[in-house]
Amino acid sequence: MLEIEIDGKKLTVNQGSTVMDAAHAAGTYIPHFCYHKKLSIAANCRMCLVEVEKAPKPLPACATPVTDGMKVYTASPLAKKAQAGVMEFLLINHPLDCPICDQGGECQLQDLAVGYGNSASRYQEEKRVVVGKDMGPLVSAEEMSRCIHCTRCVRFTEEIGGFQEIGMANRSEFSEIMPFLGKTVDSEISGNVIDLCPVGALTSKPFRYSTRAWELSRRKSVSPHDGLGANLIVQVKQNEVMRVLPLENEAINECWLSDRDRFAYEGLNSAERLQKPMIKFDGKWHETDWQTALEYVVKGLNGVSADHGKDAIGFLLSPHSTTEELYLAQKLARAFGVNNVDAALRRSDTRVAKQQQGALWLGSSIVELAASKSILVVGATQRSEQPLLASRLRQSVKKGSQLNVIHVADDELFTSLNAKLIVAPQQLVNALAQVLKAVVTAKAGETAIDLAAANVSAEAQAIADSLCAADSASIVLGNVAQNHPAFSELLALAQEIARLTGARFGIAAAAANTVGADVAGANPVRGAFGQNVTAGLSAAEMLAAPRKAYVLLNNEVEADSYNGQQAVAAMKQAATVIALTAYKGAGLLDYADVLLPIAPFSETAGSFINMEGKLQSFNGVVRPLGETRPAWKVLRVLGNMLSLNGFEQNSCEEVRAELLALGDIAAQLNNGQSVLAANVAAGNGELVRVGDVPLYHADPICRRADSLQQTAAAAVPQLQLNPADAERLGLQDGQAVTVAQGAAEVSLQLRTDAALAQGAARVAAAHPATVALGGLFEPIQIKRG
Amino acid sequence: MAIFVKGVIFEGVDTTAPDCWHIDAYMARGGYQALKKILDNKMPQEDVIAEVKNSGLRGRGGAGFPTGLKWSFMPRSFPGDKYVVCNTDEGEPGTFKDRDILLYNPHALIEGMIIAGYAMGCKAGYNYIHGEIFEAYELFEAALDEARKAGFLGQNILGTDFSFDLFAHHGYGAYICGEETALLESLEGKKGQPRFKPPFPASFGLYGKPTTINNTESFASVPFIIRDGGQKFLEAGKPNNGGTKLFSISGHVNRPGNYEIPLGTPFATLLEMAGGMKDGKKLKAVIPGGSSAPVLPGEVMMELTMDYDSIAKAGSMLGSGAVIVMNEDVCMVKALERLAYFYHEESCGQCTPCREGTGWLYKVIHRIANGEGREGDLELLESVGNNMAGRTICALADAAVFPVRSFTKHFRHEFEHLIEHKKSLVDHKWC
């Protein structure tokens, strides 16, 4: 511990602290621009110059290490003169366009200029003009004359984003911040540079010129886009969501947001929003009132129930729905006598629900996962599944953790891997089995799983060694693993490796409320908090053996199912498809016959349980659009109209209280399997589709966010093949090909990519261009042209 | 290029002979004997460093820091790689001495670096060569080849267990890369921008490893010091200013060029060696140590001796030894405008005071020089300079301010006249 005195205030700080750290601890504000607690120290803005006793010159607080007995004066005449001098330099070339600048009112330079600047400028020469840059559809770099060269954006892309997409070119006052020539900034977390920019140089393209910062109210919320549960500040004006900013939560999103979290709000104001209930008759859609629509729904459910029985009805609930909605939906279904309830829409392995003993979750907190010395990620397209988790693991590697990957493609993670096993989807199980086999040998342990078919490769051995040697290790199954037909095997193998090595294991929940769905009972086998229920069919089973009626909550089946082709066919043969939805999507308009407008997360209270099992509640930030109603209200009224008991809740909080009274969430979190699935044989050599979900097609809201849809990540999917497979099929990179699954054929462009495992044919899911295809991890045929 | 040889590096070098740079010629002059002496006698590392300390050799790049002391900062028992780096990024206006060492006597540098590597326990060295002297770079590569073939570089040098390799790196001509940490950044393949210190290169240098960076002339002086002894080197100069020094004389003299003379030689003698003032014009001003050094009036210079202490006492710096001589036809406002332009172009742009201040200084001086000066401009220059100097990561801001301060101090009347009368006091001619 070191003693330091700041402006006469004595305190002790840790060895290695900077003067800035000490000032923070002392509650003393030192003006700064380039310093940011999450970025490396640049010490280039010079705004934080302070006087240090015995130092001949003022020193930058951000970069000066504290020495014992140091005396610092942050506001002495010397310090103030230095700070004022720097402020003058910062302002001489900064345009005086605050009245039209987006940053106006929330600008660090503007704020500090009041405290440290002069009212008039001594600079009488011409001001610098810098030509704007194109950084893509999300980040605007039009007014680079405003840039003060703090290089926070540069350091962010390099240090947090993992790839330096922004740099400072040229020298002297001709220095310019720019992306690579002819390139845009394509990072999945690029929007953070807007928050980091202390001036109005980098601004939000979708938000630009729409309003002034001081006209916005700030409301807390939680991201509905992935299982991380990033905390949001939603900014609202006149009942419209204008933009989304991060709410700092060190345990979850730190101070960052993924671009999906930040820009998907555009989808909330989409023209496709359903504003009135609609019913289809005579093949045409008609707007109607709630009473008529709900009566139609009741009649439909009662009719199918009378004609075909309750088992002919299926509830397909989106895991992006709130816990309260999912709880009420499953309660409604089961009270009505329907057991077919599921929220694991993209899961193909129907055994999992029958074997699980609790809600599948991460197996640890996010912080604990990141702190693990050895991490194995199985079947995850990390940067599109949970962009901020991928970034967090990148930081873990920097801090010395070993990251290991078993996946279908050697995707660029912008970090260094300890070991990787890149195999075709049909080999995933065998690959993980190799690791288990190596672990069994290393630990001289035993397992009930027959590992005869697994031959330990060098990579598997390296992964096993890493897991065995680390004093804390974690195994995480990603989205690809969770949607894979052999998810049971992967879970069983992970469980065994974890048992033998002492590692934690779990799943990285894909959707905002994947864990909440299990807790709330949106599961065919388990009721809320594990209550005993009569087992029903899983989502995959409900679609494979079509029902006569479907109730869809927040679900566009063609994009949100494991097998879109099968799902649409099931919908089309049904007598009634009742959709509770925020959007009148083209698919729903085609196969549904009643659309009930429900509120997205921004217009209703609710809660999500994130991947680490943390329940995060939020309130609606704006009033429901048009005649939209929160889904919990719709379900509650439907319960009344169906004469069911237990639908008397008067608020979302009452629904939540009713659910949470059933038990303790932490006690529900359990990745244990009652049966260890066993087949670890490697699959055959046929081409199997890798249908991972693109970054901006994960849920109905982001699919309608215009700016996100203009990014490179949202482009029409290509067929990606290993060059060896392409050669075997006589196909050339760039040529048009037809891919077929079942009855559907789709024309795509071929891109050969050596990162892809041989035997894997990557055709992204959930995109309009590919939804006609079949199962996400099923065999696929490829033809020329 | 006229070179007056009396001293250490160019002793016996016939710069008019095309093969004077070759290893044979160098060895005929006694080259590589110092290295052999060390290896044959298994001279302890600390003895080598002590000898360099004894010589009084001070860094020839400009700062004049004692070389032996710098070498002793390198951690002795560091377990990993350590590096020795030569700074031949000679970009200071007026300086051209290191170029001539590479062109006429590159093996002195190579031998000096090998000895440095030996003394500090380094396995590898790099010579970072300024981007605008490509011929010198190519010749240095050829000299390195000769040294490797002769067994002075590589594994097990001269059959001992000492191994050392040396590589040349060609820069791209940025002045800032002469700042040692910017040089390291550039050498690592990054943009050449100075690092914040601490940590200093001796603990966190090239690739994060302990590194010692010296100027070309400093390294090239080492073989003499080891071969003939530090005392002899010291005696060639004067106390605290050991050895001879290369001075690059440019400007209004009859024979501009490099002159290797003992430190402590009177400026008047040096001027005489350079053939005296061109066309017999009157000496007006001298920048004694490269463009960053404060200018001194001619009559002051005529009283000084060429060594660190004497020049410092007069309020300037010996710097890199670049002596820029100006005659009575030079308008000092014009001269300062040219210097200010240079720093405006060469600031790396990272620190606010330097990035913005160098431009501001230039623009104001440019205005004054073009008859558009305003009352208060000189006070403004002083104030802006005060806000720059000492407020940045490296010393480039200070270097940009020194000329402004000294020109406006010693030749204030010229500036005032131009501001008041919109016309220069001097009918300006560069040559």
Are B381 and B400 a contacting pair, CB within 8 Å?
A: no
Q: Above 70 in pLDDT, residue B1?
A: no
Distance CA A656, CA B239 (A): 86
Burial (Cβ within 10 Å: 0-12, 13-18, ≥19) of residue B194 = buried
Mean residue pLDDT of chain A comes to 96
Contact B346 A92 (CB under 8 A): no
Chain A CB contacts of B349 under 8 Å are 149, 168, 170-175
Residue type, A354: K
How close does chain A come to B161, measured CA to CA in Å?
A: 35
Whether the per-residue pLDDT at B195 is higher than 80: the answer is yes
Contact A46 B358 (CB under 8 A): no
- Pairing type for strands A549-553 and A504-507 reads unpaired
Region A204-230: mean pLDDT is: 96
The whole-angstrom separation of Cα A507 and Cα A526 is 18
Which pLDDT belongs to residue A485? Answer: 96
Determine the average pLDDT of the residues in B200-212. 96
| Residue B177 touches partner A, C-beta closer than 8 Å | no
Which of B349, B351, B363 is closest, CB to CB, to A168? Answer: B349
Chain B interface includes A731 (CB < 8 A): no
Residues whose CB falls within 8 Å of the CB of residue A448, separated by 6 or more in sequence, listed in order: A496, A676
Secondary structure in 3-state letters for A346-379:
CCCCCHHHHHECCECCCCCCHHHHHHCCEEEEEC
Report the distance separating Cα A476 and Cα B3, nearest Å: 72
Contacts of B392 in chain A (CB under 8 A): 46
pLDDT band at residue B11, thresholds of 50, 70 and 90?
confident
SS3 B395: coil
pLDDT of residue B5: 57
- Confidence class for position B430, pLDDT limits 50, 70, 90: confident
Q: Strands of A585-678 (E only): list them.
A: 594-597, 606-609, 615-618
Residues of B with Cβ-Cβ distance to A172 under 8 angstroms: 344-349, 355, 358-359
CB contact under 8 A, B196 and A122: no
Under 8 Å between Cβ of A737 and A719: yes
Best CA proximity match to A217, nearest among A196, A247, A200, A242: A242
Tell me the whole-structure pTM to 2 decimals: 0.95
Say how far apart CA A607 and CA A264 lie, in whole Å: 19
Is the Cα dihedral B103, B107, B111, B117 positive or negative?
positive
Residue B105 has pLDDT above 90, yes or no: yes
> How far is residue A331's CA from residue A551's CA, in Å, rounded to a whole number?
13
Of all residues in chain B, the one with the smallest CA distance to A173 is: B355
Burial B203-227 (b: 16+ CB within 10 A, else e): ebbbeebbbbbbbbbbbbbbbbbbb
- pLDDT exceeds cutoff 90 at B44: yes
Residues on chain B touching A57 (C-beta within 8 angstroms): 390-391
What per-residue confidence (pLDDT) applies to B12?
Answer: 87
- Whether residue B431 is predicted with pLDDT greater than 70 in this model: the reply is no
Q: Shortest CA distance to B35 belongs to which of B109, B124, B143, B128?
A: B109
Q: Hey, what are B23's tokens?
A: 């290893």
The three-state DSSP-derived secondary structure of A372-436 is: CCEEEEECCCHHHHCHHHHHHHHHHHHCCCEEEEEECECCCCCCCCCEEEECCHHHHHHHHHHHH
**pLDDT of res. B429:** 82
| Spatial distance between the Cα atoms of B371 and A338, rounded to a whole number of angstroms | 92
CB atoms within 10 A of CB A37: 10
Instruction: Label residue A368 exposed, middle or buried (CB < 10 Å: 0-12, 13-18, 19+).
Output: middle
Considering only CB atoms, which chain A residues are within 8 Å of B348? 171-172
Residues with Cβ within 8 Å of A535's Cβ and at least 6 positions away in sequence, in order, are A339, A354, A524, A525
Contacts of A37 (CB under 8 A, 6+ apart): none
- Residue B224, pLDDT > 90, answer yes
The C-alpha atoms of residue A33 and residue B193 are separated, in whole angstroms, by: 19
Q: Which of B347, B352, B386 sits opposite A45 (nearest CB)?
A: B352
B344 inside 8 A of chain A by CB: yes
The alpha carbons of chain B give a radius of gyration, in whole angstroms, of 22
Distance CA B344, CA B333 (A): 16
Cα separations in angstroms, A198 against A105, A155, A195: 12, 14, 8
Instruction: Please provide the DSSP assignment of A55-104 as one string.
Output: -SS-EETTTPBP-TTEEEESSSHHHHHHHHHHHHHHHHTS-S-GGG-TTT
Considering only CB atoms, B347 lies closest to which of A65, A126, A171, namely A171
Residues in chain A: 785
Q: Is B358 on the interface with A (CB under 8 A)?
A: yes
Which chain B residues are Cβ-neighbours of A108 within 8 angstroms?
none
Beta strands in B276-409 (DSSP E): 283-287, 296-297, 305-306, 322-327
Q: Measure in Å the smallest separation between the Cα of A58 and chain B Cα atoms.
A: 7
What tokens were used for B301? 């210079």
Report ipTM for this prediction.
Answer: 0.94
Residues 6+ apart with CB under 8 A from B393: A43, A44, B194, B195, B196, B197, B350, B351
| Residue A525: Cβ-neighbour burial (10 angstroms; 0-12, 13-18, 19+) | buried
Is A507 in a helix, a strand, or coil?
Answer: strand
| Closest residue on chain A to B397 (Cα) | A172
Which residue in B352, B382, B386 has the most chain A C-beta atoms within 10 A of its own C-beta, making it the best mutation to test that interface?
B352
Of B77, B357, B198, give the one whose Cα is nearest residue A122. Answer: B357
Q: What is the pLDDT of residues A499-511, one digit of tens each?
A: 999 999 999 999 9
The rounded Cα B209 to chain-centroid distance in angstroms is: 24
- Is the pLDDT at B3 greater than 70, yes or no? no
Q: Which residues contact B273 (CB under 8 A, 6 or more apart)?
A: B4, B255, B259, B261
DSSP at A223? -
> What residue of A is the nearest CA neighbor of B377?
A122
Summarize pLDDT for B368-409 with one digit per residue, the tens. Answer: 999 999 999 999 999 999 999 999 999 999 999 999 999 999
Please give the full DSSP string across B119-166, using - where no structure is assigned.
HHT-SEEEEEE-TT-HHHHHHHHHHHHHHHHTTSSBSSGGGSS--BEE
- Number of Cβ pairs closer than 8 Å across A and B? 99
Q: How far apart are CA A183 and CA B307, in angstroms?
A: 54
Amino acid, single-letter form, for residue A576: T
For A62-97, write each residue's pLDDT tens digit: 999 999 999 999 999 999 999 999 999 999 999 999
Residue listed under structure tokens 């894909």: A510
What's residue A784's pLDDT?
Answer: 81
What b/e readout covers A289-301, taking b as 16+ CB neighbours within 10 angstroms?
Answer: ebeebbebbbebb
Location of structure tokens 């790099």: B126
- Residue B178, chain A, CB below 8 Å: the answer is no
Q: What whole-number distance in Å separates Cα of residue A740 and Cα of residue A761?
A: 11
Q: Band of the pLDDT at B4, cuts 50, 70, 90?
A: low
DSSP-assigned letter for residue A662? T
Q: Does A171 touch chain B (CB under 8 A)?
A: yes
A175 touches chain B (CB under 8 A): yes
Look-up: residue for tokens 């390296």?
A462
Looking at residue A198, the DSSP 8-state letter turns out to be S
Which chain B positions have a beta carbon within 8 Å of A85's beta carbon? 353, 386-388, 391
Mean pLDDT of A564-574: 97
**Does the pLDDT value for residue A700 go beyond 80?**
yes
Question: Residue A657: pLDDT band by 50, 70, 90 thresholds?
Answer: very high
Q: How far is CA A729 from the centre of its chain?
A: 36
- A89–B387 CB contact, under 8 Å: yes
CA A179-A180-A184 angle, 5° bins: 60
Per-residue DSSP letter, A533? -
Q: Which residues contact B66 (CB under 8 A, 6 or more apart)?
A: B53, B56, B57, B58, B59
Residue B190 at interface with chain A, using a CB cutoff of 8 Å: no
Residues of B in contact with A148 (CB under 8 A): 352
Pairing status of strand A139-141 against strand A203-204: antiparallel
Q: Which two tokens stand for residue B204?
A: 């966190």
Contact criterion met (CB < 8 Å) for A173 and B344: yes
CB contacts of B360 in chain A (<8 Å) are 89, 92, 123, 125
A206 contact partners, CB below 8 Å, separation of at least 6: A138, A243, A263, A266, A706, A707
Phi then psi for residue A501, to 5 deg, are -100, -10
The nearest CA of chain A is from the CA of B88 a distance in Å of 21
In this complex, do A57 and B349 lie within 8 Å of one another by their Cβ atoms? no
- List, in sequence order, every residue forming a beta bridge with A594; answer none if it has no partner: A279, A578
Amino acid at B366: H
Contact A700, A267 (CB under 8 A): yes
Reply yes or no on whether the pLDDT at B6 is more than 70: no
Query: In this predicted structure, what is the pLDDT of residue A783?
Result: 87
| C-alpha triplet A604, A300, A549: angle, nearest 5° | 85
